[in-house]
Amino acid sequence: MEINESKYLHIRPPKEALWAMIAFLAVLSVFFLVKIRSEFSGYNRAMQPPSISVSGEGKILIKPDIAIVNVGVLKEGTDLLAVQRSAAEVMNRLSDTLKKKGVLDKDTKTTSYSISPRYDYKDGEQKFRGYEIFQNLEVKIRELSKVGEILSGAAQAGANQIGSLSFSVDDPKKAKEEARALAITDAKTKAATLSKNLNVGLGKILGYSESEGGIPMPIFAKAESFGMGGPGIPPTPEGENEIHVNVNLTYEIR
């Protein structure tokens, strides 16, 4: 028995219909994904309780108990070894002077040391002028009544770079804790008033954040005020430093 293959037709969909079907399925998939995401987001919003946020501020004024100043030496010359020796001699005398004035070793630290070649430029030509050596110490002074005496002594020891004198608090931790407590109390008071005005109840705290800061007291004076060319002595600070903390509280409302 012979089979006539011509009687059997192989039907294939045209390419246009195939691509149309693929595009339809893609659009349908996107539709369902958007729908599921929207419903899930709505579910999340429904699960999150309504809330209110309030801010509070706490400030503490505290008298400074330390002074911080930068003292150093700047030397120039064509002989590098000679310039280094000269700068080292000044720094040794400065270190001895600070110790004699009661400054502790732990309260002095070198913050910079540099050796730089210097050039003069004339008629488009570069001419070597010499070397410049700079060394700086950051000094913490705990006896504020000795600030002027110590700075004058540093100048007499040969320090020719003195500045950035500021007064601060050595351990502000306790003051920050007090300021934080005031800020939280301020925020709670605001929350209670707001809930009363809105006629809602306060639930548990859902969120908390804080930021803190303080304002140092910089002192600016001429070189004469530090005993460099004049008898002046910088005064002991009479003001206060401000330490403040800001907090944000988020409450559930019911």
CATH classification at residue 203: 3.30.110.170
User: Residue 105 in contact with residue 90, Cβ under 8 Å?
Assistant: no
174-230 tens-digit pLDDT: 889 999 999 999 999 999 999 999 999 999 999 999 998 765 555 444 444 444 444
Q: Can you give the residue range of the structural domain that contains 91? A: 66-168
* 209: in domain: yes
With a pLDDT cut of 70, the percent of the chain lying above it is 72
Does 50 score more than 80 pLDDT? yes
97 and 59 fall within a common domain: no
Do residue 83 and residue 145 come from a single domain?
yes
Q: Are residues 97 and 177 in the same domain?
A: no
The average confidence (pLDDT) of the chain is 81
Tokens standing for 56? 């509070």
The total domain count for the chain is: 2
CA quadruple 13, 15, 17, 18: dihedral sign: positive
- Between CA 134 and CA 207 the distance in angstroms is 50
pLDDT tens profile 64-122: 889 999 999 999 999 999 999 999 999 999 999 999 999 999 999 999 999 999 999 88
User: What pLDDT sits at residue 191?
Assistant: 94
pLDDT on residue 231 = 45
Note whether residue 230 is domain-resident: no
Predicted pLDDT of residue 165: 87
